Amino acid sequence: MIETSRPDTRPIVEVRNVSKHFGEGETRVDALRDVSLDVRPGEVIALLGPSGSGKSTLLNVIGCITEPSEGKLTLEGDTVYDGRWLRDDLRKLRLEKIGFIFQSHNLLPFLDATDNVAIALDLAHVPRADARKRAIELLDYLEIGHRKSALPAKLSGGEAQRVAIARALANKPRIILADEPTAALDSKRAGIVMDLLRKLAREQQAAIIAVTHDEKIFDRFDRIYMLRDGRLESESAAVASA
């Protein structure tokens, strides 16, 4: 069974006064400047902005891939960065807390849908039988269980992206980071994928943060943040579909 969590109003993601610069002196580039935001359980938020505005850098900071230059990052009540990383094993941290979804599904072409999901559990040293059981359970949850034995080449774009979402959920993270998750999909498939993300945010009490330029899915977000030149310029509420 896919477990659902009780509603919780405490932020899952807390970003406080985070800045990130690359280089020094005349070559210094400020990718993020004093950014703060909270994301609570069940929320789906969007990061918008022109190329080079800092969206992907912010996503990578939250994903514990890029180290901030200053600030504080707290995930599920656990402060993981405060002037320095407070966890030694960031790979383990990502496996425990974070699921990643990308524009390209990045499925392994020689593995079927089930094994593409199960591989995330293999990396966490989950026994093989348990990993496959969890994978099939997730594929059923995302309404693609009937394609569990299909290779990626036999899946449509929307089906492949659902398998990628299942893989992101494999280790039961409550933080999902999505980088242009619908850019390669048509309007209908993009809507289906976003509806699934909203469903899992609500039912799993997860926090979902997506970088997107896809105007056709703006109504699926609870809040939209605009970044420009590394600064969080504005926040607006979106009218999310049920």
- The confidence score (pLDDT) of residue 33 equals 95
- The confidence score (pLDDT) of residue 8 equals 61
Task: List, as one string, the DSSP characters of the chain.
Answer: ---------S-SEEEEEEEEEES-GGG-EEEEEEEEEEE-TT-EEEEE-STTSSHHHHHHHHTTSS--SEEEEEETTEEEEESSBS-S-HHHHHHHHEEEEESS----TTS-HHHHHHHHHHHTT--HHHHHHHHHHHHHHTT-GGGTT--GGGS-HHHHHHHHHHHHHTT--SEEEEESTTTTS-HHHHHHHHHHHHHHHHHHT-EEEEE---GGGGGG-SEEEEEETTEEEEEEE-----
- The confidence score (pLDDT) of residue 238 equals 57
Q: Which CATH superfamily is domain 13-237 in?
A: P-loop containing nucleotide triphosphate hydrolases (3.40.50.300)
- The confidence score (pLDDT) of residue 241 equals 47
Give the pLDDT confidence of 115-174 residue by residue, as tens digits. 999 998 888 888 999 999 999 999 998 888 999 999 999 998 888 988 998 998 888 899
pTM of the model: 0.85
User: Band of the pLDDT at 52, cuts 50, 70, 90?
Assistant: confident
